[in-house]
């Protein structure tokens, strides 16, 4: 459970760590139960010297089951091909020790990709339209970005306010003046989020004149 948002320039995630439990809120998107925990975690990894799809990797953001996302992150950072990664994850799954759902978002110099494992199927999707959002709070984050004009970090904070699977502050990565990724942590106050509660009203289009009917009315 998480919220990830990217607009082509800034990658942001929440920091909440969630875990499956037998008696908690059920998430229909990933088919597992979730609960809040007090633990916070950094969900964005900045690998050194890694490449993916022939392009330098700036950052890798984790989502879903930790074993799955960590395995994918480690394989990508270490240059292990995805077929091998899939075989490794299937072996882990056969032990029954984790839910086979999870993935990573990979921000590269020449592209942005989503790598997801769900029910034994590993799928790589190149993302070409932004904003991109994913996770249990992804729809809320996209709404905040597209309708309210929020930046990715603010969008994640707004989503975390309403999504049970997200929270704990925001991590974000941007490129510095030298073109290198820099990660930071951010806490966004309720007052800052409230500024997005009441966007400016959209003016209604002028009413069109009614067409006359055949009887002149």
* CB 60 within 8 Å of CB 105: yes
First to last CA, the chain: 60
Structure tokens at 192: 């800052």
Q: Report the C-alpha gap between 4 and 157 in whole angstroms.
A: 10
User: What domains are there in the chain, each with its CATH number?
Assistant: 3-194 (3.60.20.10)
Written in H, E and C, the secondary structure of 144-183 is HHHHHCCCHHHHHHHHHHHCCCCCCCEEEEEECCCCCEEE
Q: What is the pLDDT along the chain (217 residues), one digit of tens a residue?
A: 799 999 999 999 999 876 544 444 444 444 444 444 446 688 999 999 999 999 999 999 999 877 788 888 988 999 988 888 878 777 766 655 555 578 999 999 999 999 998 777 789 999 999 999 999 999 999 999 999 999 999 999 999 999 988 998 999 999 999 999 999 999 899 999 988 876 566 676 776 666 665 565 5
The whole-model pTM stands at: 0.79
Give the strand pairing for 51-52 and 44-45.
Answer: unpaired
Cβ distance 172 to 187 under 8 Å? no
Q: What are the angstrom distances between the C-alpha of 193 and each of 89, 106, 159?
A: 39, 27, 10
Using N-to-C axis directions, what is the helix angle for 82-94 and 66-77, rounded to 10°? 150
138-148 helix and 152-162 helix, angle to the nearest 10 degrees: 130
d(CA 85, CA 200) in angstroms, rounded, equals 48
CA-based diameter of the chain, in Å? 79
Ordered DSSP codes for 32-71: EEE---S-B---EE--SS-EETTEEEEEEEEEE-HHHHHH
Q: Provide the pLDDT for residue 114.
A: 96
How far from chain centre, in Å, is Cα 89? Answer: 21
């Amino acid at each position: 459970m998480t919220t990830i948002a990217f607009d082509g320039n800034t990658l942001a995630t929440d920091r909440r760590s969630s875990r499956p439990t037998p008696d908690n809120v059920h998430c229909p998107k990933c088919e597992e139960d979730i609960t809040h925990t007090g633990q916070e975690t950094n969900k964005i990894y900045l690998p050194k010297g890694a490449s993916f799809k022939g392009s330098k990797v700036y950052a890798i953001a984790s989502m879903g089951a930790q074993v799955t996302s960590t395995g994918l992150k480690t394989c990508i950072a270490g240059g292990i091909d995805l077929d091998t990664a899939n075989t490794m994850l299937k072996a882990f799954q056969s032990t029954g020790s984790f839910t086979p759902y999870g993935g990573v978002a990979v921000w590269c110099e020449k592209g942005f990709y989503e790598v997801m494992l769900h029910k034994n199927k590993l799928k790589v999707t190149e993302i070409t339209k932004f904003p991109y959002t994913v996770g249990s709070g992804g729809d809320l984050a996209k709404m905040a970005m597209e309708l309210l004009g929020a930046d990715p970090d603010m969008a994640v904070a707004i989503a975390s306010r309403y999504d049970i699977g997200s929270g704990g502050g925001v991590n974000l990565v941007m490129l510095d003046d030298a073109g290198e990724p820099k990660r930071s942590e951010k806490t966004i106050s309720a007052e800052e989020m409230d500024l997005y509660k009441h966007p400016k009203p959209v003016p209604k289009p002028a009413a069109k004149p009614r067409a006359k009917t055949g009887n002149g009315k």
